[in-house]
Structure 1
Amino acid sequence: MVIQNGLSKAMNAKIIGSGEETIVLAHGYGGDQSVWDNVLGQLAQNCKVVVFDWSFSGAIKDPSFFDEGKYSSYDDFADDLVSLMDEMSLSSTIFVGHSMSGMIGCIASIKRPELFKKLVLVASSPRYKNLEDYEGGFEESAIDQLFLNIEFNFEQWSSSFAAMIAGPNDPLCMEKYEKSLKRMTPNVALHVAKIVFLCDERSTLEKVSTPCTIIQTKNDVPVPNSIPKYMQSKIQADTNIEIIDMEGHFPQLTASNDFLDVLNKVISQSI
């Protein structure tokens, strides 16, 4: 079923399947809802599944929908998420947020806790820049270079970034993500990259009251292995960590069966 009005139409929102539980799937930076293709069919057999595209996605039909002046932090995307869920009359959902969407879901759950029954944080991080006492994954100089590459060499950057993020053993995932990245305009890609790589949402974690499951792979370049334990130590709500034995940032694509096993466990525990 395609929702045909307002914000949900602009964000290509769809509800697929039926069941007592409602799962909201939110993609990350540079992606679109197709990142869930490998798991959507099985999830929709027993649940209502909501998919959508963030305003920055290249899958959005109206490029003017992304207004750079509107978005300066994850908080602004969390407002979009809350508005979308209200428009679609969703509540008490299982929210699955990949990458940047994990922290967006955390912020939205603080604003409106009744909308979320559980948070599933997939390859998510509250901060990507290293500090003396914090391993974020990137030195400041590497982040500065990333911004320069997006601005002045977007095509080549898209290819190299996709290869780094997807992992060395899944060329199909790399190709899919590269195509998705290249559907973005360079100025939008740069604007959102600055929001992502300069974010510091560590203080947000301790305000989260919704139970969480953190899904991490064994080797994820932008998210060091220390991050899930850090997040678990800061989140006050019940939080568990699930490690999937694979390399890369996209367990829903590269290890979809293992990913579904974790989600099905979360769903069964929420009934």
Structure 2
Amino acid sequence: MVVIYIKMLKYNATIRIEPNPKCIRIRNKSCEAVTFLYNQTRTNRTHHQKTALALLLSLFLFSRLSLWKMVALERSLEAAMNARIIGSGSETMVLAHGFGGDQSVWDKVLPCLTKHYQVVLFDWTFSGAVKDPNLFDPLKYSSYDAFADDLIALLDELHLESSLVFVGHSMSGMIGCIASIERPQLFNRLILVAASPRYINIDDYEGGFDDATIDGIISSIESDYENWTSNFALLVVDNSDPISVNNLAKCLKRMRHEFAVPLAKTVFRSDKRDILDKVTTPCTIIQTTNDIVVPGSVADYMHKKIKGKSTVEIVNTNGHFPQLTAHLEFLAVLAGVLGFEI
């Protein structure tokens, strides 16, 4: 019996070829199998010829299976990313969560926003709320650009192609900026909530962390993720709101550890300062008075570097999640910028 191991795309497959094969069975890591029967009437084929033919046919069939899976994923982003549209209004607002979260981080502001907008909610593929772990490929998502591509593809699938308000929290702020550069007509306003183009200090830029601190964060995620999630939630959410602290900790714990490590490297070692002067969409930068993740100097830096018109709005709360710990003030900022009543 000959067993050949191959890897195509992101799927592992085992092809089993018997000495006188009449069929080929291909199985990927999702335990989906395809069986192929072929004509065995030519008796003068050598064993090596039969094996070679079987392998070629197997590769063809498996490539067809992989292609089908890729197409299926591309066509079902709405379902895969738990996307939904709720609310009323003639305009549409897109809410995008950050590292380790899910769409539940917007729950406190939804009742108000849905009175004035059709609101698009979704979960990034790394989120613990996403059912299919195969959707997140650490190599693919080693850059924010892949997330921006997903965002654009999702909105295309939802037939939302222009004049949207985008509200991006943390890493999603920069993802929204990238998407706005790739598709300038997509958004008419970017709301960048606790966003940062770079987290590590360099030269005259203050990102908030030095290299050693970032290395320590990633090491803690690798070695003791369970404990890190609890501690991180306490650091980034105002402790005067223990319910929100607990809810974020639960979100973080739901995210797979094998996703958290590469994603943390992508986020905390990112440097997107060079795209800011390409952002022409009007921006509102929302900063809290005391954010351990993003210092106020970052908001000022973004304000100066963004090419389009931008303003900085301060929400009087501690932590990285104003939509959780100061949601009424956060809504007041949005209302003032966008022109709706609370």
Query: Which TM-score band applies after superposition, normalised by the shorter structure?
Result: over 0.9
**Correspondent of 1:25 among 77, 85, 95:** 95
SS at match of 2:115: coil
Q: Does 1:259 align with 2:334?
A: no
* TM-score (norm: length of structure 2): 0.76
The residue number in structure 2 matching 1:197 is 268
Q: Does 1:69 align with 2:139?
A: yes
Cα distance, 1:160 vs structure 2:
0.8
Given residue 166 of structure 1, which amino acid in structure 2 is its aligned partner? Answer: V
Cα distance, 1:245 vs structure 2:
0.7
What is the alpha-carbon distance in structure 1 between the residues aligned to residue 146 and residue 140 of structure 2? 7
The residue number in structure 1 matching 2:111 is 41
Q: Does 1:229 align with 2:306?
A: no
Cα distance, 1:69 vs structure 2:
2.6
* TM-score (norm: length of structure 1): 0.96
Cα distance, 1:206 vs structure 2:
0.6
Q: 207-216 or 127-136: which moved more? A: 127-136
**Correspondent of 1:89 among 120, 137, 159:** 159
Identity of aligned residues (%): 57
The residue number in structure 1 matching 2:71 is none
Cα distance, 1:171 vs structure 2:
1.4
Cα distance, 1:173 vs structure 2:
1.5
The residue number in structure 2 matching 1:146 is 217
Contact 2:238/2:325 (CA < 8 Å) preserved in 1? no
The residue number in structure 2 matching 1:51 is 121
The residue number in structure 1 matching 2:6 is none
Task: Tell me how large the CA RMSD over aligned residues is.
Answer: 1.0
Cα distance, 1:167 vs structure 2:
2.7
Measured against aligned partners, the alpha-carbon deviations of 1:11-46 in whole angstroms (never above 9, x if no partner) come to 000000111110000000000000000001111012
What is the alpha-carbon distance in structure 2 between the residues aligned to residue 167 and residue 267 of structure 1? 26
The structure, 1 or 2, with the larger RCO (C-alpha pairs under 8 Å, 6+ apart) is: 1
Q: Does 1:157 align with 2:228?
A: yes
Cα distance, 1:168 vs structure 2:
3.0
Contact 2:288/2:317 (CA < 8 Å) preserved in 1? yes
**1:110-189 → structure 2 map (5 Å cutoff):** 110-189=181-260
The residue number in structure 1 matching 2:77 is 7
SS at match of 1:222: coil
Gaps spanning 5+ residues in structure 2: where?
1-74
Given residue 54 of structure 1, which amino acid in structure 2 is its aligned partner? Answer: W
What is the alpha-carbon distance in structure 2 between the residues aligned to residue 69 and residue 197 of structure 1? 16
Contact 1:14/1:52 (CA < 8 Å) preserved in 2? yes
Contact 2:128/2:251 (CA < 8 Å) preserved in 1? yes
Contact 1:123/1:217 (CA < 8 Å) preserved in 2? yes
Contact 2:103/2:123 (CA < 8 Å) preserved in 1? yes
Contact 1:169/1:247 (CA < 8 Å) preserved in 2? no
Contact 2:166/2:189 (CA < 8 Å) preserved in 1? yes
What is the alpha-carbon distance in structure 2 between the residues aligned to residue 93 and residue 46 of structure 1? 13
**Higher Cα Rg, which structure:** 2
Cα distance, 1:255 vs structure 2:
0.6
Given residue 249 of structure 1, which amino acid in structure 2 is its aligned partner? Answer: H
Q: Across the two proteins, how many residue pairs are aligned to each other?
A: 265
Given residue 10 of structure 1, which amino acid in structure 2 is its aligned partner? Answer: A
Q: 165-174 or 205-214: which moved more? A: 165-174
Given residue 227 of structure 1, which amino acid in structure 2 is its aligned partner? Answer: V
Contact 2:113/2:119 (CA < 8 Å) preserved in 1? yes
> Counting strand residues as a fraction of each chain, which structure ranks higher?
2
What is the alpha-carbon distance in structure 2 between the residues aligned to residue 68 and residue 220 of structure 1? 28
